Chains A and B, each alone.
Chain A
Amino acid sequence: MKNSLERLSRRDSIKLAAAAFAAAAIAPRLAFADEKAVAAEIKKLYGDKAMGQGRIKLDVPEIAENGLVVPIGVEVESPMTDADYVKAVHVFADGNPQPGVVSYQFTPACGKASAATRMRLAQTQDVICIAEMSNGDLFSAKANVKVTIGGCGG
């Protein structure tokens, strides 16, 4: 039996990680955002204004099947009338190199405030969503998404 040794290059490691075990740790060490970076971004947008809870339905998987393309859905409860509508929705991630993921602007003509996309998550982290209402009220929601190397399912 030939015992060739697969040397683990940085590039191969993510693809290979042979027992599937390893990828997360070997990625080159980028500077990652953290809770503070996300808080700073939110402060830039809205200062220290208080956030309410509820109204936002944040739909992310508990465990990402593929950290490169994690599905995210956001829906904010609102009548979406001229008098009362969702103006903007911002999504942040506190463990990526950059905290910002996506921002959406809405008008009453949208009919409902919902959006879905995919995002890359570099590691297990919190995804934070802020909704700005037409009257200036703010709401927030948060969910943890686990990014795992997996591979031992039995």
Chain B
Amino acid sequence: MISKREFLQATGVAAVLAASSGLGPLGRAAAQQKLSQADILRFDPLGTVTILYLADIHAQLMPLHFREPSVNLGVGEVKGVPPHLTDAAFRDYFKVAAGSPEAFALTSDDFVHLARNYGRMGGLDRVATLVKAVRAERGDDKVLLLDGGDTWQGSWSALQTKGQDMVDAMSALKVDAMTSHWEFTLGADRVKEIVDAAPFAFLAQNIRDKEWNEPVFPPRKIFEKGGAKIAVIGQALPRTAIANPRWMFPEWEFGIREEDLQKQVDEARAEGASVVVLLSHDGFDVDRKLASRVRGIDVILTAHTHDAMPGLIRVGDTVLVATGSHGKFVSRLDLAVKDGRLADIRFKLMPVFADAIAPDAEMAALVTKLRQPYAADLAEEIGRTDSLLYRRGNFNGTFDDLICAAMMQQRDAEITLSPGFRWGGSLLPGEPITWEAITNATAITYPNCYRMEMTGQQLKDVLEDVADNIFHPDPYFQGGGDMVRVGGMGYAIDVARPMGSRISEMTHLKSGQPIEAGKSYVVSGWASVNESTQGPPIWDVVRDHVAASGTISLQPNTAVKVSGA
């Protein structure tokens, strides 16, 4: 039995500010309540087992800014429930005061003011400090460190080293086990090569060899911690072969595989596991549904959708943890085990405030060494931005607007398409746009920026298809990231309608004319999942555009009209 106590443990200092102060001035008021390292680590320990959990780091070795979404819609049963809450609604639900450190870390409004006060978050050297402190407090034999995946992709150095920099860093952090998604875009051979040599377990119960339907990776591992057996079952992104280029891992099939998962849980219990943990890259809504259908999972460590929540979500006897992304948070779960079962659980989402946490010297040295071959390139200033550049959100991100504008200019296109990836750092107004900033938003193994003709009907079909991948009312039928970003074209979307009828009012922005179904338009885009896509890598397209522009200044994007939410 899990006690009902404290599903919301406020992080560190009490939230002292009244939530009514409005926006801008909060940055100043909030300066009073910065967290210290001790505040961040403060925890009333419980039981004999601690799980530390990270996910979706996206190869960010260094502290950065990452703005959480202002639009994160849920459909069907999950409309208006966590994690589909943003800004004031999020703060109300989780009892977070506006302007507080937690508000900065977890919500998007007033981001620029608060960012200037609270500084960057993440950095593996800071993460290492937290991990080592908890290990020292609890003892190595009581702490399990788990990584939810999307770890080896998302930076220039990770791309250049084929993930090796992150493998080295996570090995030094002594990760016990991970699962995965973007890792597979390094290609099957490279993933196998890393996994064969890695000191951590790489777990995925839901990947099968196409020919024989045999498991490709170990499905689970049992760890003995604090005198208890903890079973960790891995679940890779079930839609990897749809969301990313299947030709990079042509022999593997994915899927949710509920029944196989149930077997894994039952076998783990039969082997004496007191606690069963699903280390999952399903995404939050898929895991919430799964928790209602698969019996016997105590904890689901969720990933993929990049949600960060300062409280646990309970479904039946299962609790779900959402630990955020980009190294912004480390989750701590203390578990009390009694009579071979989980008896109690206590949770804290530790925010990794880079200015508050002393970097761990060993990890800092390793990070410097790993980045050294690329340091000069990464620091190169290509231009500057007058606007806040961010990506996360269901429909628009200013970084995507920049990428779309770059393709429009550099590839002479009428309409541009940019994938709705959830990863990539944010830049504050006045900051330089470095090579690192550009590649943090674009570093993938299939970067070619194509140019082709598409008819209005084809464009409509693209938007409908991607919209259904996000807004299908059954999460098991959802497939990808956020909505594809569009440049040069506006449209209206009713998220509540069924597949094929959500998109309307497609308009060619330059001419103001409706998009015609039978007419051809010159379209440029990137991140095609098709093999042999032609065109320059997207980072060169963006670099040329930023260099030519000097300073980037973006107008608010009003081209997408959303209804049905």
Contacts and interface: CB of A to CB of B under 8 A. Distances in A.
A, B: real partners: yes
Given A3-B411, A7-B453, A19-B528, A25 B461 contact: yes
B479 A148 contact: yes
A81 B293 CA distance: 33
Contact of A150 (B242, B410, B452, B526): B242
Interface stretch (B248-256, B333-341, B550-558): B248-256
Interface residues on A, range: 20 to 34
Contacts of A47: none
A63 B477 contact: yes
Contacts of B246: 65-66
Interface residues on B, range: 35 or more
Contact of B451 (A5, A146, A150, A153): A5
A24 B465 contact: yes
A62 B256 contact: yes
Contact of A62 (B451, B453, B477, B527): B477
B458 A25 contact: yes
Interface string B449-469: 011111001101110011011
Given A63-B479, A153-B480, A154-B422, A8 B454 contact: yes
A16 B527 CA distance: 12
B482 interface: yes
B237 A153 contact: yes
A61 B466 contact: no
Contacts of A28: none
Interface in A1-45: 1, 3-8, 15-22, 24-26
A153 B180 CA distance: 13
A148 B465 contact: yes
B239 interface: yes
Interface stretch (B161-169, B502-510, B530-538): B530-538
B219 interface: no
A144 B473 CA distance: 14
B50 interface: no
Nearest to B452: A6
Contacts of B536: 1
A18 B450 contact: yes
A153 B544 CA distance: 26
Contacts of A54: none
A124 interface: yes
A149 interface: yes
B557 to A, nearest CB: 18
A151 B477 contact: no
Given A1-B536, A20-B528, A66-B246, A149 B465 contact: yes
A25 B255 CA distance: 25
A6 B499 CA distance: 29
A153 B461 contact: no
A22 B461 contact: yes
Contact of A148 (B240, B420, B469): B469
Nearest to A19: B525
Contact of A65 (B253, B458, B462): B253
Contacts of B466: 21, 152
A6 B469 contact: no
Q: Name A's interface SS.
A: loop
B370 interface: no
B43 interface: no
B462 A21 contact: yes
B411 to A, nearest CB: 6
A19 B417 contact: yes
Interface in A93-140: 124
B317 interface: no
Contact of A26 (B256, B412, B458): B458
B476 interface: yes
Given A66-B246, A154-B421, A154-B480, A61 B533 contact: no
B454 to A, nearest CB: 6
B481 interface: yes
B216 interface: no
Contacts of B528: 17-20, 151
A5 B522 contact: yes
B329 interface: no
B461 A148 contact: no
B495 to A, nearest CB: 16
18 contacts: A5-B452, A7-B452, A8-B452, A18-B530, A19-B484, A19-B526, A19-B528, A20-B527, A25-B458, A65-B241, A65-B246, A150-B239, A150-B465, A150-B479, A152-B419, A152-B420, A152-B469, A154-B243
Interface of B: 181, 237, 239-244, 246, 253-256, 410-412, 417, 419-423, 450-454, 457-458, 460-462, 465-466, 468-469, 472, 474, 476-477, 479-482, 484, 499, 522-523, 525-530, 533-534, 536, 541, 544
Given A7-B453, A21-B525, A154-B420, 13 more contacts: A3-B451, A6-B452, A6-B534, A8-B454, A19-B528, A20-B529, A21-B465, A25-B458, A150-B243, A150-B529, A151-B527, A151-B529, A154-B481
